[in-house]
Structure 1
Amino acid sequence: MFSKLITWIVLSLSMLLSYQLQAQEIETVGILHAVPSKCVALNQGRTCYADVKVTVNAPSEGDYCIRESLSKKILQCWAKADTFKYELDFSSDESLSYELISKKSRDVLAVTTIEVNWVHKVKTKKRRWRLF
């Protein structure tokens, strides 16, 4: 009876410890959030439009910028801040990524992607030759 109680306590503590470690990992990964992270267009190849809210929870106070990953175009910068929000008018026919960078070192601190999906995908028709 006593050994079962000790086993239960050890298992409970190990589960609690692993849960806390997972929560810490999620907090360190969650610097840059985009909502919604998916945009749905009606047909493949069409431009998808969405009002995306980007939230930043930087690890420390500093000078930060949000930029588009492909074009490296800077969208907005903040000075001496650690949490801030940005509203993005998203319009694209393909998925795009956005980066949080340090203004001084230009190091990429976090990346988020807005995925573009379609309701109807373009299907290619097979052409068959008929003699009769």
Structure 2
Amino acid sequence: MNKYKYILMLLPLTAFAEPSELPFTLQPDQCVALEQGQSCFIDIKVKWQTKTKGDYCLFVDEVKTQCWQATKIGLWENELEMKTDVAFSLKDSKHQMIYSGKVQYAWIYKKRKNKAVRWRMF
């Protein structure tokens, strides 16, 4: 009976605790192609949050993609085609990096060296 008292005492603390949000998230963080070298298509979602309001820009492989003015949070959703890993970064108005992350490119089958048909009838 004593062990159940401790469990009941901890329940209210966990029930009312706010879930901690990560300040920078990429979803999904991996794209899988069927064969090595093929394009991979994903719907990417980037969410970010800072402590102070400011002007921020999202860069995809060092290319400015979207900017936000006087805000603390941002959301960017888009379709992405990739054949290699793609780097994401959030920078402030002074071009200092605030957050960074990467979506990894993966494949199931290795690229075949010879694309010739490998079967014979006779």
Q: TM-score, normalised by structure 1?
A: 0.66
Does residue 115 (structure 1) correspond to residue 107 (structure 2)? The answer is: no
State the distance in 2 between where 1:58 and 1:91 align. 28
The corresponding residue for 1:12 is none
Does residue 100 (structure 1) correspond to residue 87 (structure 2)? The answer is: no
Shift of 1:123: 5.4
Matches within 5 A, 1:7-22: none
Q: Which runs of 5+ in 2 are unaligned?
A: 1-19, 115-122
State the distance in 1 between where 2:78 and 2:88 align. 11
Does residue 80 (structure 1) correspond to residue 70 (structure 2)? The answer is: yes
Q: Which runs of 5+ in 1 are unaligned?
A: 1-25, 126-132
The corresponding residue for 1:47 is 39
* Matched-pair contact (CA < 8 Å) for 1:31–1:59: no
Shift of 1:88: 2.5
Deviations 1:22-79 (A, max 9, x none): xxxx97xx4321100100110000011000010011121110000123xx21100000
- Matching residue's letter, 2:26: A
Q: TM-score, normalised by structure 2?
A: 0.71
Does residue 64 (structure 1) correspond to residue 56 (structure 2)? The answer is: yes
State the distance in 2 between where 1:48 and 1:58 align. 31
SS across alignment from 1:46 = coil
* Matched-pair contact (CA < 8 Å) for 1:67–1:73: yes
The corresponding residue for 2:26 is 34
Bigger share in helix: 1
State the distance in 2 between where 1:113 and 1:91 align. 14
CA RMSD of aligned residues (A): 1.8
Bigger share in strand: 2
